[in-house]
Amino acid sequence: MVSVPLHPKKLKERGYNQLHLFTETLSKFYEIPFSHDLIKRNHYSKAQALKDRQHRLETQNPFSITENISEKHILLIDDVFTTGNTIASIALEILKFGDNKVSVLVMAMDE
């Protein structure tokens, strides 16, 4: 299990990442390992929902994978699904390595 990370600056401003808490709870309940360090957010930016369409398309490589992974099934956890850009960007990075699979769990949707 991996949750969508906050940029370190955003994490410092907020003081916590609610997705980490959610992921840790699920991990304990289902006895599935988690990592808070597999994905790194490369840029500090405002939420996708607050960007106009052009600015969402201009963002390049917003995430990177911090270690080589292969033959893993990653459950990617996010708290909201607005445009799908965040999930798609992370999933593409995970799929670049080896024979990986990605499943997605979203806590909420915004129409």
Note the helical H segments in the chain: 8-14, 18-30, 53-58, 85-95
For residue 5, give the amino acid letter: P
Are residues 3 and 36 in contact, defined by beta-carbon separation less than 8 angstroms? yes
Over the chain, what is the mean pLDDT?
87
Average pLDDT over residues 26-36: 96
98 — pLDDT class (breaks 50, 70, 90)? confident
Q: What is the pTM of this model?
A: 0.80
Pick 24 or 107 by higher pLDDT: 24
Largest CA distance in the chain: 41
Q: What is the pLDDT of residues 51-63, one digit of tens each?
A: 555 555 555 779 9
Beta pairing class for 73-78 and 101-106: parallel
